[in-house]
Amino acid sequence: MEIYEEGKARIKFNSQSFLNPKAQLSRDLSVAFVKYKTKINPKATVIDTTSATGIRGIRYYKEGGAKEICMLEINNSAFKDLKGNMNYNKMNKDSNVRYYNTSIQEFANSSVRESFDIIDLDPFGSAAPNLTDIMKLARDKSSLMITATDVAVLCGAHYKACLKTYFAQPLHNALCHEVGIRILLGYIARIASLFNFGIEPEISISYLHYVRLFLKLDHGAAAAVKNYESIGYALYCKACGNFALNSPIPHSLNCNVCGHEYSIAGPLWVGRIQDKTVINGVKEVMSQDKVKNDEMTFMSNLSSELDTPLYYSIPALTKMMNVESVSYDRLKEELQSQGHSISKTHMNKESIKTDAGISEVKAAILKVLKSRNMIN
């Protein structure tokens, strides 16, 4: 039996597979998100649908300010750990704490229909098979926190698996992380629509081996129909590096810069994927709670990241242009002097987000190189 401490949770567990210390950022961020939401709604109830050892549920209750916590775990051995941890964390006799050795499916389809303000789904692999049942646990303004670890599928390393699971074509290049996030959001939007929910993505993270999405649901037919307006395609030109997000169907399948045929990904979510008010609110909570420095750095980067569609990979572009690479700082200086905004992206460390088009980015790269040669 191993012991692991994180935040206010003390966890005893048998199997390493049910508790991954590398997911601490995901948990710290989720605890802060719950805390941010419970400050707005102090009566917020939370369900941790894939509890494993119970670590998230314990933290949402003890640190996040959840009024009630419900935890589900299908696996008998993990549930044994969870039950032990309820004792260990002195939560077993609290009437606001419930835990069941059952599946999401069984719980969501039982005769007593329950709904929650905040719903956590953190499965192994794809979130897709559980989304329908997750929606049955939601109500107007519920928040969803959803993990996917099938990043290779969403990123196009397993093309057919992406077609089969998400009914979407992936893009297997540097853009794949944001395209993958958008494919998953597009899929969530479609399932949400079936239950008359519109989705509003608030935080979208691609980190290490997983994607973690935080979003809000709005109930009503109009909100659900609105999802459709944010469904479209990502277009990428491998001849010149141009890209676009198009909703709903591209007018032309040829690049509007060089005329080459686009590679197409989707259908996917083309709407906003970050909400800076929520990101900054959650960052503030994390700062007050004195999370680790590298987590604060991650949140600061996320907070300053532009929410422009997709990003330019500097190494891919300079390779395509057959020129030397340029530093982020010099490119930033050059693009800013042209009146453009620019930021890094947490999704790909050698890429930039900017409101400049491909021709402007390439011209800026050439200008940086020219000034460098003039100096040398």
Ligand X SMILES: C[S@@+](CC[C@H](N)C(=O)[O-])C[C@H]1O[C@@H](n2cnc3c(N)ncnc32)[C@H](O)[C@@H]1O
**In sequence order, which residues have a C-beta less than 8 Å from that of residue 29 and are 6 or more positions away?**
203, 205, 212, 282, 286, 295, 299
Q: Which does 52 bind (CB under 5 to 8 A by kind): ligand X, Zn ion, none?
A: ligand X
User: Coil, strand or helix: which one is 70?
Assistant: strand
> Which residue's CB atom is positioned nearest to ligand X?
50
Residue 122 or 178 having the CB closest to ligand X: 122
Residue 237 or 299 having the CB closest to Zn ion: 237
Report the nearest approach of ligand X to the CB of residue 160 (Å). 23
Q: Which does 159 bind (CB under 5 to 8 A by kind): ligand X, Zn ion, none?
A: none
Q: Which does 347 bind (CB under 5 to 8 A by kind): ligand X, Zn ion, none?
A: none
Closest CA to 177 of 353, 41, 333, 327: 353
Element of type H or E holding 293? helix 293-304
Residue 75 or 247 having the CB closest to ligand X: 75
**Do 30 and 207 meet the contact criterion of CB atoms below 8 Å apart?**
no
- Name the DSSP letter for residue 173: S
Strands (E), the chain: 2-6, 9-13, 45-48, 68-72, 97-100, 118-121, 143-148, 197-207, 210-219, 231-236, 243-246, 263-269, 312-313, 342-345, 348-354
Residue 234 or 255 having the CB closest to Zn ion: 255
Q: Which does 260 bind (CB under 5 to 8 A by kind): ligand X, Zn ion, none?
A: Zn ion
Q: Which does 104 bind (CB under 5 to 8 A by kind): Zn ion, ligand X, none?
A: ligand X
Report the nearest approach of ligand X to the CB of residue 155 (Å). 19
Report the nearest approach of ligand X to the CB of residue 112 (Å). 17
Residue 123 or 186 having the CB closest to ligand X: 123
Q: Which does 354 bind (CB under 5 to 8 A by kind): ligand X, Zn ion, none?
A: none
Report the nearest approach of ligand X to the CB of residue 113 (Å). 17
**In sequence order, which residues have a C-beta less than 8 Å from that of residue 145 and are 6 or more positions away?**
30, 33, 118, 119, 120, 121, 122, 212, 213, 214
Report the nearest approach of ligand X to the CB of residue 6 (Å). 9
Q: Which residues bind Zn ion (CB under 5 A)?
A: 237, 239-240, 242, 255, 257-258, 260
Burial class (CB in 10 A: 0-12, 13-18, 19+), 328: middle
**Do 335 and 354 meet the contact criterion of CB atoms below 8 Å apart?**
yes
Report the nearest approach of ligand X to the CB of residue 358 (Å). 39
Task: Return the half-sphere exposure (C-beta side, CA atoms, 13 A cut-off) of residue 363.
Answer: 10
Q: Which does 225 bind (CB under 5 to 8 A by kind): ligand X, Zn ion, none?
A: none
Report the nearest approach of ligand X to the CB of residue 23 (Å). 5
Residue 105 or 132 having the CB closest to ligand X: 105
Q: Which residues bind ligand X (CB under 6 A)?
A: 18-19, 23, 27, 49-50, 52-53, 55-56, 72-75, 78, 103-105, 122-124, 130
Rounded to an integer, what distance in angstroms lies between the CA atom of residue 36 and that of residue 320? 44
